[in-house]
Amino acid sequence: MLTTIYSQERGGLRFDVFAGSEPALSPNCVLISGERDAILIDVQFVRDEARELAERVRDTGRNLKAAYITHAHPDHYGGMAEIQAAFPDTPIFARQGVIDGILEWPAKRLHWQEAYGDQIPDEMPVPRPLTGERGSLEGHEVVFVDLPVAETVHATAFHVPGSGALIAGDLLNHHSHCYMADTNNPGSWLTALDLVQALGELTIVVPGHGPVGGTEVIDDTRTWLQDYQEVARPRVPVADIAREMGRRHPDRALPMLLWLTRGPSFGLVGPKELGVPPEVFGG
């Protein structure tokens, strides 16, 4: 079930942020509305929540001009089929590197169908390539910010300078653990934080997961990453890293992310053998 976690008008635009449920990894998606038109950034993960998102958009009475995908993790693009069905004339855009990642969906489906069954689609639409450096919504500039390697290799943030807004995708997690399994590169991720912090005044900062805020959202992610740099030295076992980060940040959401690795580790030994606490997976 979707939760509206933020609604604010600023600089002639309205920003509505909807969070998915925690079992579906609580992704944030953002509807930016003018007087007539709107754009959507990220589209939820599971079918029911994507359908609910489509209803929320429809209820505004705005023309959905476009949807954009920040990066190629299924919790942010998995709802494309439902959005496309609800708004067949609305194009969905992503940078080419993000599209290349989305093309891996058939393999990712094998993993996620065990957890979500028919809540995830069999087939995934392919977005149109996003080109250029900026777009607009009723004359308001929307800047496409191509990020250095951070949570993943290819990702785009969206900056609305007239409203002081940054929609960061998973570059930022607020009061939540970060997902390191794609890149395990906190140094480059910290460089990406410097990039967005230099964009100018930011009063609306929307993370990929967690509550909306101001620049303290960037600071919160920076603190976590600096701790991770200290803890996750080469050859330190994943279980030791996860336990220490959990000890340092016991109140953050999504502790499951600490235990995820990219590759066959769970498939070979399973979470129990790796030492994952049962409560992380609700057991």
CA distances from 200 to 15, 80, 157, 168, 215 (A): 19, 32, 14, 14, 11
Beta-ladder partners of 15: 8, 32
- CATH number, residue 118: 3.60.15.10
Q: Which range marks the domain in which residue 230 is found? A: 3-281
Rg of the Cα atoms in the chain: 18
Residues 17 and 28: beta-carbon distance below 8 Å: yes
Residue 280 above 80 pLDDT?
no
> Residue 122 in 3-state DSSP?
coil
Domain count, the chain: 1
Q: What is the largest CA-CA distance in the chain?
A: 55
pLDDT at 144: 99
**Can you tell me the mean pLDDT for 167-196?**
97
| CA–CA distance, 157 with 265 (Å, rounded to integer) | 31
* The pLDDT of residue 223 is above 90: yes
Q: What is the mean pLDDT of the chain?
A: 94
Tell me the per-residue pLDDT of 233-264, one tens digit each, with 9 for 90 and over.
999 998 999 999 999 999 999 998 998 876 54
Is residue 172 scored above 70 in pLDDT? yes
- Overall pTM surpassing 0.75 (yes/no): yes
**Which residues, in sequence order, are bridge partners of residue 146?**
156
Read off the pLDDT of residues 71-99 as tens digits, 9 standing for 90 and up.
999 999 999 999 999 999 999 999 999 99
Question: At CA 192, angle to CA 261 and CA 131, rounded to 5?
Answer: 100
The mean pLDDT of 180-196, rounded to a whole number, is 97
